[in-house]
Amino acid sequence: MADTLIVLTNLPDADSARVLAEHLVDARLAACVNVLAACTSVYRWQGARETAAEVPLLIKTTAARYAALEAAIRARHPYELPEIVAVPVVQGLPDYLRWVAAETTPAA
């Protein structure tokens, strides 16, 4: 279970979020990506407070695929500095976690 990760990122709109989600699943970098409803983010950027509408993604992957996943997000993300945060899964339904591992194993 320790190698299952949930990776978080935000995109500026639903279309770019869906395109990235589909790429990550098609490339077997993620078993599943949840494209969530738009939210409002408030943050400080380059010394000023900013507010933006964003679409969050919850990406299920493994530690073994993290580096490739991060590279894919960075290559396709429109932001200069995208949020990419990985949270380890410490417990979960064993069958689900095995499915995540199987779906992120590169095709032979």
CATH of the domain at 48: 3.30.70.120
Averaged pLDDT for residues 100-107? 93
| Any domain includes 89 | yes
Range of the domain at 83: 4-103
User: What's the total number of domains in the chain?
Assistant: 1
What is the pTM assigned to this prediction? Answer: 0.94
| Any domain includes 108 | no
| Any domain includes 50 | yes
Averaged pLDDT for residues 81-90? 97
The answer to whether the beta carbons of residues 100 and 60 sit under 8 Å apart is yes
Confidence check: pLDDT of 2 > 70? no
| Any domain includes 32 | yes
User: What phi, psi does 77 have (nearest 5°)?
Assistant: -85, 135
User: Which tens digits make up the pLDDT trace of 33-84?
Assistant: 999 999 999 999 999 999 999 999 999 999 999 999 999 999 999 999 999 9
